[in-house]
Structure 1
Amino acid sequence: MIGKLKGLVDGFGDDWVLIDCGGVCYQVHCSTRTLQSLPRVGEATVVFIETILREDLIRLFGFATEAEKSWFLLLTTVQGVGARVALSILSVLTPSELSSAVALQDKAMVGRANGVGPKLAVRIVTELKGKVPAIGAVDAGTLGLQSALGEGVASSNVADAVSALTNLGYSSAQASAALARVVAKEGEDTATEKLIRLGLRELSQ
């Protein structure tokens, strides 16, 4: 089984990249975000790989980070989310943003992805509640709010703090990442006012 490819970028398609590994070119399907992060043709790259086998095809999916791969695998456990829809979600949301969207039960955020209707968005945030990919020792702000919360769902004080920071002009992703770091240090029972104050401190660094 292929876990990772190291090679030279040989070419790009709409949703794939060709990676030349010692003269053998692998076609790897990726999210838009991953494709944009890859170097130019002829330059060296590394992508994490998930292989999907079916009776009629073998398809490789590539990811810039282990976090993205882990979320891809988790997303495809949800009924109605195949590989293509999972890549669509990861094209518009980083792993941190996806984690925070699940923690805040923000179906609208997930629903921004092509192919994700209102019902599927609700199913995704509901079924992934409390499920966090095992990625190892990574900063809570990178993993998002869900990884910093015991139950994987934001309590009212955390949700209120996110809302307050977004009302001050910060994006939901920025606010969630900052508060994930705060909650990891202070605990999710911290008062809303303190969360906002410490969140602002994180955002000013």
Structure 2
Amino acid sequence: MIAKLKGLVDSSGDDWVVLDVNGVGYLVFCSARTLSRLPAAGEAAALVVETHVREDHIHLYGFISEAERSFFRLLLTVQGVGAKVALALLSVGDITQLSQAIAAQDKATLSRAAGVGPKLAARIASELKDKVSSLSLGAPVAGVVMTTPKEAIAEPSVLEDAVSALVNLGYARLDAFAAVGRAAATLGQGAAVSVLIGAALRDLGKGA
């Protein structure tokens, strides 16, 4: 089973790259974000690889890091998400951005990926919400409430009320979620909805 490839970039397309490893060309499917980080043809590159063996084919999927491959595997646990859709999701956002979207139940962001309609986006957000914080991604997911220590956060219903209020004021759900998360981490457990909203509005104002 191939787990990693290191060689020279031979050629590439919209969703693939051929790596020349000691004269052998390996066709590796990648997300658009991964492809954008690879060097030009003829230069050295390395990819972490996920190998899928089927009766009619053997496909290699390439990633810049172990964390990205782990997230790819996590996405595949959702019914309706195949390798092509998982790569499409990884093309619209990095693992931090996707984790934030899932934690915030931001189905609009997930639906930007090719092949992901509203129903599938809802299923991804629902099934992975409790998993994105437990998966070791190699770096914290900034702004996500679930990564905040338990003793420092408000009740989930209070957080959701604060987020909903900001969304009703016209803020994007993902921005509102992140701002409320930062406010909750600062204010601690027991913060009232109105206090969270005020702190989040000040936070959002700084980025205006």
- Tell me if structure 2 keeps the 8 A contact 1:91–1:113: yes
Relative to structure 1, the CA distance from residue 54 to residue 137 in structure 2 (aligned partners, 3 Å threshold; closer, same or farther) is closer
Task: Say which of 176, 194, 199 aligns to 1:194.
Answer: 199
- Following TM superposition, by how much is the alpha carbon of 1:15 offset from its aligned partner in structure 2, in angstroms? 1.2
Relative to structure 1, the CA distance from residue 21 to residue 112 in structure 2 (aligned partners, 3 Å threshold; closer, same or farther) is same
Matching residue of 1:41 = 41
Matching residue of 1:99 = 99
Relative to structure 1, the CA distance from residue 140 to residue 166 in structure 2 (aligned partners, 3 Å threshold; closer, same or farther) is farther
Letter in 2 for 1:159: V
Question: What is the DSSP-based 3-state SS (H/G/I as helix, E as strand, rest coil) of the residue aligned with 2:97?
Answer: helix
- Following TM superposition, by how much is the alpha carbon of 1:2 offset from its aligned partner in structure 2, in angstroms? 2.3
Aligned residues: 197
1:156 and 2:160 correspond? yes
Unaligned 5+ runs, structure 1: none
Identify the range of structure 1 (156-165 vs 100-109) with the bigger mean alpha-carbon deviation. 156-165
What's the C-alpha RMSD, in Å, of the aligned pairs?
3.3
Unaligned 5+ runs, structure 2: none
Report % sequence identity.
Answer: 47
In the TM superposition, 1:1-205 aligns within 5 A as 1-132=1-132, 134-135=135-136, 137-141=138-142, 145=144, 148=147, 155-156=159-160, 159=163, 163=167, 167=171, 191-197=196-202
- Following TM superposition, by how much is the alpha carbon of 1:110 offset from its aligned partner in structure 2, in angstroms? 0.7
Question: What is the DSSP-based 3-state SS (H/G/I as helix, E as strand, rest coil) of the residue aligned with 2:90?
Answer: helix
Question: What is the DSSP-based 3-state SS (H/G/I as helix, E as strand, rest coil) of the residue aligned with 1:140?
Answer: coil
| CA distance in structure 2 between the partners assigned to 1:183 and 1:24 by the alignment | 53
Q: TM-score, normalised by structure 2?
A: 0.76
* Max Rg structure: 2
Q: Deviations over 1:61-91 (max 9, x none)?
A: 0112333212211111101110011111111
- Tell me if structure 1 keeps the 8 A contact 2:70–2:137: no
Question: What is the DSSP-based 3-state SS (H/G/I as helix, E as strand, rest coil) of the residue aligned with 1:105?
Answer: coil
